[in-house]
A and B are shown apart, each in its own frame.
Chain A
Amino acid sequence: MFEVVSNEILAENLHKMVLVAPRIAKARKAGQFVMVRLAQGEERIPLTIGDADPAAGTITLFIQAIGASTRKIVETPVGSFIRDVAGPLGKETHITNWGRVACVGGGVGTAVLFPLVKALAEAGNEITTIIGGRSERYVILADELGALSKNLLITTEDGSLGYKGFVTGPLSEMIADPARAPQAVFAVGPVPMMKAVANLTREPGIETIVSLNPIMIDGTGMCGGCRVQVGTETKFACVDGPEFDAHLVDFDGLSDRLTSYRKEEAHAAEGCKLAKEVAK
């Protein structure tokens, strides 16, 4: 049982939750995730470890409540418990001093980006962080990321904050400017965003790393559900990833596999609504 010690709303449907998990807090490195199961009968969900405090024995999770299971997890009040949290899983991010690094985050991916930016900053990189959202209220962690970065650029689709457009706009400007072009790019966000970033950096040959979040069941190297085509090989995100060379990932295949249970999920969401109707 893992106690929830804080649970705050950062943006619509986005929660920052701190849990007591001393062993995971101690073992965890940037880029790793945990498998979370709220209670008996619930799904196992992979969630990136956003941050950890080994002294306090706590880990921080950023949770986007988009499905039936994540919605239930974020409803857990402070002082209550989550039944199962297992990790840290996946490989740690390969951190080195590249020099100039661009870190690109979209939506909840911005939260996944946070521990990477922190580790990259600690390694002495000069970081430009580019984060985007649909509109101002979907832009998260701007202050936290700004404190770790040399430059922070914000994009919104509706122009309500920062640049109007997508994260790829400021990134392509950076790449085109020899004085600002990054030696490495980290991108975390929706699959189309990561694919667009990979396409921008492929031609100039800039090393680009993406963090993937495919469907997982056990997360411990057993079921094979998280397989992703990377170059000519089939890789398993839970043991070989979750970070991969963006120029080798088959993003279309990943996108497609993510829709495997769309019908079943819609049914579950419908069930939720019905249950609420009945409760009324």
Chain B
Amino acid sequence: MSNNLSPKERMAIDRVHMPELPADERSTNFEEVNLGLSADQALSEAQRCLQCKTRNCVAGCPVGVSIPEFIDALACDDLPKAAQILRGDNALPAVCGRVCPQETQCEALCVRGKKGDAVAIGYLERYVADWAMLHPDRLLKEAKPASTGKTVAVVGCGPAGLTAAGELARMGHQVTIFEALHDTGGVLRYGIPEFRLPKEIIDREVAVLADLGVTIECNVIIGKTLTVAELTEDFDAVFIANGAGLPTMLNIPGENLKGVYAANEFLTRVNLMEAGRREDSATPILQRDEVAVIGGGNTAMDCVRTARRLGAKRAMIIYRRGEAEMPARVEEIKHAKEEGVEFVMLTAPLAIVGTENGWVQALRCQKMELGPADESGRRRPQAIAGSEFDIPAGIVINAVGTNANPLLTATAPDLKLNKWGNVVADDEGQTSIPGVFAGGDIVRGGATVILAMGDGKRAAAAIDQYLKR
């Protein structure tokens, strides 16, 4: 099959809609919301791509996926080739196809988006990656690279670490990933809920790396079990991607009441430990009728949609700016609304109010209005005097952000940190210690999966250069 439609014919095709589980059904379970495209839908969407020469979309992708090329292979119905192209550029395509904010990256730069809807690049990426997982026998065999005899330690099994490990293994280096938790995936597993990213997808992506010869050791905390100095002794290079750390506290009264969670604790209990998801999970989670989540990012959306699924009758987002200023993906906001989540905008928390027995009973808030733009370009919220009010809530979840994790850096005195405790690294990930590279949230503070992956990919290239010196 060839991909030889005229531009006019391509322009005449409408953007596909992602099939979804109905909102009333999915808001009571943890099944994946987006069901994936059918073969016909994927083919039709692939034909919408104009195969333009400028390839703006590629510039919008932090890992530089050859987007027009894989879409062309898909439009030609050559899925093995599409899968090969995708896998060559992106170590975790089934993950990216689900959680990347395409609307602000590749799709934002798509020529078709100038007049109408961009090509649904993310949906197509997911389609090809999912097909590849289901048809391992039809994939083109990857040539095993010749071993370079060099060893690399990767700290952290999240998106940055997995990406770097995949890239380095394909270059012929022997890679060992050290993971502090008991399972792989980092934030993909403990942070992102099953209904957005099924754990099975992570297992399959990790299995691809294992096939490439990557060793993964769980339960090893770098900075504690082993130090960075020990790694530089035993390995030719080190990539630090140990992720985010402790929650940023709100510093309002009542934060230590029972029923107040930091987002990471709430999500880790449910996602990693399967509390509330599996009948026989030994880890408990509190369940209440009214749950207030503070914050407007994707983590806040993940918390509030999880709370809804655990049975909250009122699951609320409390955000001090307006909906337009929310950093969360448009799709997450849309899905949350469909699932009955309430959005309490222009509202800032003042205190968490408890019962005499120390349980949360309300979130005390005040109304805000938007003033002039601040340095981030978003309009700064200002309190409206005398507007205090209480929102009844049995659980309050703080999803405003995280600080740098101190465990690794506390025992690596030569590693230069910035004033927030994040590791200082240049564009290629090089830190203040020769042969030690870093990327992802430990460098950036809180960022996205795909930015972490971009760091992993660039650092892998830099490590390869370093090892070839």
Contacts and interface: CB of A to CB of B under 8 A. Distances in A.
B220 A221 contact: no
Say whether chain B's binding surface is mostly helix, strand, loop, or mixed.
loop
Q: How large is the interface on A (under 10, 10 to 19, 20 to 34, 35 or more residues)?
A: 35 or more
Interface in A248-274: 250, 253, 256-257, 259-261, 264-265, 268
A88 B180 CA distance: 11
Nearest to B259: A260
B224 A257 contact: no
Contact of A87 (B182, B218, B221): B221
A261 B256 contact: no
B4 interface: no
Interface stretch (A101-109, A121-129, A182-190, A222-230): A222-230
A132 B278 CA distance: 40
B268 interface: yes
A234 B249 contact: yes
B93 to A, nearest CB: 27
Interface in B227-247: 243-247
A82 B402 CA distance: 31
Contact of B406 (A23, A239, A257): A239
B225 A256 contact: no
A256 B358 contact: yes
Given A27-B224, A218-B268, A223 B286 contact: no
B167 to A, nearest CB: 26
A236 interface: yes
Say whether chain A's binding surface is mostly helix, strand, loop, or mixed.
mixed
Given A23-B220, A257-B258, A68 B282 contact: yes
Contact of B265 (A27, A224, A268): A224
A44 interface: yes
Given A24-B225, A37-B182, A222 B273 contact: no
A83 interface: yes
A224 B258 contact: no
Interface string A26-58: 010000000001000111100000000000000
Contacts of A135: none
B262 interface: yes
B219 interface: yes
B422 interface: no
A259 B244 CA distance: 28
Contacts of A68: 282
7 contacts: A23-B225, A41-B282, A227-B255, A239-B246, A264-B284, A268-B282, A268-B284
Given A234-B249, A260-B259, 6 more contacts: A43-B282, A88-B224, A218-B268, A223-B262, A223-B265, A224-B265
Interface of B: 180-182, 190, 218-221, 224-226, 243-247, 249, 255-256, 258-259, 261-262, 264-265, 268-269, 273-274, 278, 280-286, 358, 402, 405-407
